[in-house]
Structures are given as structure tokens and as C-alpha cells.
Chain A
């Protein structure tokens, strides 16, 4: 029971993107699953489990760009409940390519406006740091696996101090 308490509570959240970094993370599991099983409590990782709990997290990994008010509200809730937020992949770090519609010309914007309205999407797609403070980022499209492992090992050291 004691070891269970010591596990680092993590969440993995996905907003508007292609989930490429989720796939890279599941490929990194091929080599790291036994180690991660010992040190992490996967509290909220919808790609891996159904019973997800968003209470208190040590680390929230956030992938994807922010495309709606619901996304903003969810991200703010994650910030409130997490000690660290790590932006994962290009869409979270810089918005692109999910934010490509921000750069459409007038004619292209007119063609998509009914769809933007129908699903109440934001007029401009945002990167994660536009909405909440982030503690670190792992750029790349998809995320750079070595940088991710580096960020993870630094955080594990920090939480185990």
C-alpha cells in the first residue's frame, strides 16, 4: 500500500490533433512498460483505460491544440489539479498544424465558417501556453522520444526527492 502512495500520479490528455505523440508514447512503452508500471499511477489516460479519475495529479501531459471553449475549461481544470503541466508535441507547443485554419485566406475562412459555427469552435485555434502556464514542453511532430524520456526522468527525480 505504501508503494502505491509513492507512485507519481500522471494524466495524459488529448485535445485537437492527430494523437501522433500518444502513439509514440505507446511505442516507448514497448521498452519502458515494466519501469513505468512501478513508478506511475496512470490516473487519467483515456487511451489506456476506461476508469479515469481527475483529482490530484503530479504530472499532466497535454497533447493537441485548443479549439473550443470546452477545451479551455477542461485545460484550466487540469491546471488547477496538476502540479506540473507538460505540453507534448507540435500542436500543444506551437498550435500547428491543428491551428492551420488561423492562417487561411478570406475565401477559405468563408468556406469553413458555417462548420466553425455549427460546432461552436473558437475563432482562432490556440496553443496550450495561450490558456495556462506550462512547466515544460516536448516539441516535435510527433514529439521527440528522447526529449520526452529526458523530461520524464528529470520529473521523476524531482518528485522522488
Chain B
């Protein structure tokens, strides 16, 4: 019978810092505490008293990798508060901004963070250029990332803290030559994305546990609009989302955790694929065929496959839009201020993101609230680790269990910068 405590000093290859305390007594897991140790930067305090026009750029600074998701979610909340409809072209440019983000952010996670686990390497740059398979993977990775980065830069100005999207529209518009180059780059990476999907389809890691999934489900697979749906069949309007979440304070974590109907749930690419795979771009669906039958899935490692499929969808949908749409300069719509509250809900790469803003008649922010995907996944992650350790503990040594935990957490692609950054597993002696 095993009695021990585990301490992982730093979870690497994730966004930000977290630590984990696991206590095991006589083969039973006594406690699991997933602690987000990123120091709070108090954005919901800092937003008070700021001019609403400056708010989206401030809140983009919550997170480096999904910065453009915070930017667009905040813009949506502000525009809803000010009753500002946006033009069709603005909507399309925002969809393209999200596609650029999904391609580069998912590729970062799948290649740089997760792929070394699959090939038994410590780092992605340790892949061997002289081995044909590994050579291909290295080149695929950087080409896919570069194409996503190019698309984000073309449409939004930068892939991190983008400068073109603003309340009321866009400040600059893609040039024809850039659009043509983007189409070429996206078409060129399609075979690499298909190879990536094949790798994660065959990946040998699995961990299955029944849980509830939740995502914003649009008419056409995308990330900005729709109704929030869960795997029990509940349907929630964006404006009512907050009423369906219960905030749970974990005193050991810098981040807020959430439950839905008193249970843990999961958001992210796996949730989206489980709930909306039939809405993927027709070309993506045709290409994938039976692979899509894997979903719905409760295997958390299938989150990686879902991310790879989302890259293909974003490539296909972007090529479609860029080929068929001409972009013309449009003026930015000017806001009329009033005392009101606005809600923005979007699907960030890691799941459902919620921004609320209360603005005064003087255009100054009174207060707001932000709920990020990793906060929502926090309790689900703890419950998964509890089950995983209990399954492994009779037959596996402590150090190997620590590695298995890291792999599992990495499959969630958590973002601790968002949630409030490393993983420190502390096995506590009882």
C-alpha cells in the first residue's frame, strides 16, 4: 500500500504558472489541490474608471496567447452595452481574426507543448532533423504557426494585442495582395494540418471520465456567436450565462473556479467538437469523413484531436471567406454613451469566455466581471487528477505518476495567465 505526497515544482510547456498538491494514503487519494499561482494583476479592479473606448485594449493584456480573444470579447460586451450593431464586414473580419488566433494558438499547444510527450522528447526543438518523420513534423509546425500568424497580422494588425479591431469596427482593412498571399499560405499548410490530425487521431494517450461539456454553439461552426449549449441539452442565452454558473472560491488558488448545476464541467475544443461537429465547414467535414465519428468523446486527450480539427476548419473557412469577399474601407461607428450593462460571450481557444461591463452615461467604466475558460475547467481538472492518481497508484512509481499528471493537465491546454502561471506538484505527507 502506498502512502506518499507528490511535489511537481513547475509544470512546463503550458501558459503561465500553477502548482499541484496531491496527498495519498494507503492507495487512496486524500486530496488534490490544483493551484493557479499566477499573481493576480487585478484587471477587474483596474477597469473601473477607465474610458470604455480604451477598455478592450486594456483587457487584451490579461493574456498573451489568447489576447485577441479577450480583445474581441470585450469589444462585444462594450458594443452590447452601447446598443451598437456592427457591419457585416466587421463581423467577417472578426471571424478571420479568430481563425488566425485558433490556427497559431492551437499549433503552439499541439506541437511545442504536447508533441514532445508523444515522441518521448523533452522539447520540440529536440526533434531530429535527420529523421524523415521528425523533420516533417518540425517543418509542418513552423509553417502552420507562420500561416496563422500571417492571417492574424493581415486582418488584425498583430497576432498579440491586435491593433486594428476596435469598438465600432476596424481601423485598417486587408490589402488585396495580402489576401492573395494569405490564401496561398493557407492552401500550402493544408496537407500539414491533415498530417497533424492523423498524428493525434493515432495518439496512444487516453483518459475517460464522464463529465458535462459546455460551449457556445453557432449556426455555422465559429467562435463569436450562438447559444450556449451543454451536453445535458440545456440552452442558455449569452446574456443569461452568468446566472447559470456558481463561483467556487478555492482558497489555495489565485483563480476563481466555477460549477454549473452544482457539478464540474469542461469547456474548450473538445466541448465544441462534441456539441457542434455537424456545423464544421463542409470541406473540413468531407475531408475528415469517419474521423468525426470519434466525437462526442469523454476522453480528455481527444481535446488535442479536436484542436487539430479546428485548425483545419479555420483554414478552410478562411480560404472560403478570403476567396469570396472583397474588403472595402468603412468608417468606425461612433458610440452614444448611456448608463448600461453589456455582456460578451465568445469561444476563446480554451473555451467559453465571458466579459461583462457596466458603463456610465459619461462613457467611463463603472465595473465589470470576467470569467475565463481555465477557471471553469479548474474543478474538472482536479477531479480528473483524483481519478487518474487513484488508478495508477497501486502499480506505478511516484515520479512516473507525476509525468502522467502533467500530460493530463497539458491535454486541457490550461492558461494560467488568463486564470490569474507553472506547475508545482507538492505530495503532502500524512
Contacts and interface: CB of A to CB of B under 8 A. Distances in A.
Interface of A: 14, 16-24, 26-27, 29-31, 33, 37, 42, 46-52, 67-68, 97-98, 100-101, 104, 108, 111-112, 115, 118-119, 121, 141-142
B13 A24 contact: no
A97 B46 contact: yes
Nearest to A18: B64
Interface string B401-417: 00000100000000001
A66 to B, nearest CB: 10
Contacts of A52: 10, 12
A104 to B, nearest CB: 6
Given A50-B122, A97-B46, A27 B41 contact: no
Contact of A26 (B62, B67, B112): B112
A115 B40 contact: yes
Contacts of A51: 122
10 contacts: A14-B17, A19-B63, A23-B67, A27-B104, A50-B406, A97-B46, A101-B45, A119-B40, A119-B254, A121-B39
Contact of A22 (B64, B149, B161): B64
A49 B421 CA distance: 15
Nearest to A96: B61
A100 B59 CA distance: 12
A97 B160 CA distance: 15
A18 B40 CA distance: 11
A67 B39 contact: yes
Given A19-B421, A33-B142, A101 B42 contact: yes
B142 A18 contact: no
Interface string B55-67: 0001001111101
Contact of B160 (A16, A20, A37, A68): A20
Contact of B65 (A19, A30, A112): A19
A21 B406 CA distance: 24
A20 B62 CA distance: 9
B104 A18 contact: no
A99 to B, nearest CB: 9
A112 B42 CA distance: 8
Contacts, number: 126
Given A18-B61, A20-B161, A49 B39 contact: no
Contact of B159 (A27, A29, A37, A118): A27
Given A97-B46, A115-B40, A141-B161, A48 B13 contact: yes
Contact of B125 (A42, A104, A108, A141): A42
B322 interface: no
A27 B62 contact: no
A142 B57 CA distance: 12
A19 B42 contact: no
Interface of B: 10, 12-13, 15-17, 38-42, 45-46, 48, 58, 61-65, 67, 104, 108, 112, 116, 122-126, 138, 142-143, 145-146, 149, 158-161, 251, 254, 406, 417, 421-422
Given A26-B145, A31-B146, A141 B61 contact: yes
B160 to A, nearest CB: 5
A131 B145 CA distance: 36
A141 B162 CA distance: 11
Contacts of B160: 20, 23-24, 27, 142
Nearest to B147: A30
B149 A42 contact: no
B112 A23 contact: no
Contacts of A100: 41-42, 46
A108 B49 CA distance: 11
Nearest to B152: A27
B13 A47 contact: yes
Contacts of B161: 20, 141-142
Given A67-B39, A100-B41, A111-B45, A26 B108 contact: yes
Contacts of A14: 17, 421
B193 to A, nearest CB: 15
A97 B41 contact: yes
A23 B65 contact: yes
A46 B13 CA distance: 6
Contact of B124 (A18, A27, A48): A48
Contacts of B62: 18
A16 B421 CA distance: 8
A119 B149 contact: no
A68 B38 CA distance: 11
A30 B48 CA distance: 39
A68 B158 CA distance: 31
